[in-house]
Amino acid sequence: MAAGEVSGRGPRERMVFSAAQLIRGRGVGATGMRDVVAHARAPRGSLQHYFPGGKEELVTEAVEWAGRYAARRVARFVAGLPEPTPSALFTAMVRQWTDDLAARDATSGCPVAAAVVDCADTSETTRTAAAAAFTAWAAAVAQALTDMGVPSARAEALATLMISAVEGALLVARAERDVRALTAVSQELGPLLDAAVEKR
């Protein structure tokens, strides 16, 4: 979710990416299809060609994309860790967001969160996609935790805790236009996470 890269491969992929980008900034309702094609520098006629399901399809796919992205990202984080501890992973996750907030003046949040808020009870398929996104993300985190020695029973619960904390802190941080909440969460949760790895 770098800066504003739009040079992804096909027009279709670009549109999905742009949709995610816009949604996470203004919410689903305020994101128009015309805005998406403009942002993706894609032809407007391609909308009804690539997304015959209309806006709902586009939004859903943007959410799915975000879920895959987050999951991939976790794997990359743990790979790049000096020494893999749960708290280090969590710090890395948080840092991604603090960097993102700083880079764009806290004008963007998480697209999945936006989709949940705006579509959870109007579009069943979008809601399901959001749930899947969270699940995929959590699975990646849980996997990383078990690899670090956390009993798999707790790993899942801790993964949802981590994701929930990040997502919530992101909300607060955006409202306050201050990274404070994110760093606080990272700080306070670290010890708890590390304490969960089984000593051997």
Binding site for its own copies (CB under 8 A): 25-30, 106-109, 112-114, 116-118, 120-122, 127, 130-131, 133-135, 154, 156-158, 160-161, 163-172, 174-177, 180-181, 184-185, 187-189, 191-192
Instruction: Give the residue, chosen from 4, 6, 49, 99, that forms a contact with DNA under the rule CB under 7 A.
Output: 49
Contact window for DNA (CB under 7 A) among 28-36, 60-68, 99-107, 143-151: 28-36
Residue 42: CB minimum distance to its own copies, A = 23
Based on the shown chain and the rule CB under 7 A, indicate whether residue 41 belongs to the binding site for DNA: no
Query: Smaller CB distance to its own copies: residue 42 or 182?
Result: 182
Instruction: Please give the full DSSP string across the chain, using - where no structure is assigned.
Output: --SS----SSHHHHHHHHHHHHHHHH-STT--HHHHHHHHT--TTHHHHH-TT-HHHHHHHHHHHHHHHHHHHHHHHHHT-SS--HHHHHHHHHHHHHHHHHHTTT----HHHHHHHHHTTT-HHHHHHHHHHHHHHHHHHHHHHHHTT--HHHHHHHHHHHHHHHHHHHHHHHHHTSTHHHHHHHHHHHHHHHTTSPP-
Q: Which does 40 bind (CB under 5 to 8 A by kind): DNA, its own copies, none?
A: none
Smallest separation, CB 21 to DNA (Å): 15
Six-digit token pair at 109? 């949040």
Q: Find the shortest distance in angstroms from Cβ 124 to DNA.
A: 15
Per rule CB under 7 A, is residue 32 in the interface with DNA? yes
Which positions lie near DNA, rule CB under 7 A?
11, 31-35, 42-50, 54-56
